[in-house]
A and B are shown apart, each in its own frame.
Chain A
Amino acid sequence: MARLNVNPTRMELKRLKARLTTARRGHKLLKDKRDELMKQFLDIVRVNKELREEVESALQKAYKSFTIAAAVMSPEFLEQSLMYPKQSVSVDISYRNIMSVNVPEYTFQTKSSDFSEIFPYSYAQTSGELDDAVLELSKIMEKLMELARVEKSVLLLAREIEKTRRRVNALEYIMIPQLDETIRYITMKLDENERGNLTRLMKVKDMMLKQAHNYE
């Protein structure tokens, strides 16, 4: 593992040691974050899968009803009947914070609370099959909204987990070993200097003693 390119001084050593402590703490925190995110993610992704299966099969059924409705009415008339909807939905978004990931939560409001508003045509000229089809579709609506919420959360969480995992790995396998290695290098270098200094002093002392007392 490559060590950092720094001067082997006491000051540098102190700085690196502080950095190592921070890195260790960050690593631990991020690891906890990753684990918790993963837990949340696994809970929600199972829901997502089930919900999607449900919605997909329900939609197929609704489409089938529409095909039948289209078969007994002329396509122009079918489109005309649905041309001007009476109902309209709007959404309020609030955010829920899952481990600092903001996932949206939707609250729905229909313009009119009257349920029959989903039929934007007069019953006189349309077939009963169309009523069935629209009704069937309206039943899926709530599931569709729920699916949107869950699926978006899954996407956002997956992204955050990926990011966090990358950070954890970078700290664990690059940053921390590098700092360890550099700290060891500096300590050894400083110790070596210390020993060098000591021998030099002893040598000088010998020479001075020799000069002062003139003995061999």
Chain B
Amino acid sequence: MYKLAVIGDRDSVLGFRALGFEVFISESLESAAEILDSLAEKDYAIIYITEQLMTGLGEVISKYDDRPVPAIIPIPGKAGTTGIGMKNVHKAVERAVGADILK
């Protein structure tokens, strides 16, 4: 059985706790990277991470792109969306098709 995790700043992710997600509060990039790496080794199927943190963690995250588990999914934080989640989708399209056809 796998679990679900959410990483982000306190205000953004607190609510997820009520739903049964495992919430990891991280305000800095270093600690987020550490948490992410340790979670990826454990039984977490999906790790949601706030876009604010995601922006600085490109390399840490891309190494899990090839593996089916875990899926690392950006979600907007309380401060609003930075657009990186959408940008990732567009990037995937560009890689696959050669041009961004979603626009």
Contacts and interface: CB of A to CB of B under 8 A. Distances in A.
Contacts of B4: 89-91
Contacts of A90: 1-4
A166 B39 CA distance: 33
Contact of B20 (A42, A46, A48, A111): A111
A156 B93 contact: no
B69 interface: yes
A1 to B, nearest CB: 24
B95 A85 contact: no
B69 A93 contact: yes
B89 to A, nearest CB: 6
Nearest to A90: B1
B62 to A, nearest CB: 10
B20 to A, nearest CB: 4
A178 interface: no
Interface residues of A, number: 61
A89 B20 contact: yes
A60 B81 contact: yes
Given A83-B17, A89-B4, A91-B3, 16 more contacts: A41-B96, A42-B97, A45-B89, A45-B92, A56-B75, A56-B85, A66-B78, A82-B17, A90-B2, A109-B1, A134-B18, A134-B19, A144-B73, A148-B71, A157-B96, A161-B95
Contact of B68 (A38, A67, A95, A161): A95
A145 B75 CA distance: 12
A128 B63 CA distance: 43
A92 interface: yes
A-B pairs with the 9 shortest C-beta distances? Answer: A152-B71, A87-B20, A158-B92, A88-B20, A158-B96, A161-B96, A89-B20, A91-B45, A91-B2
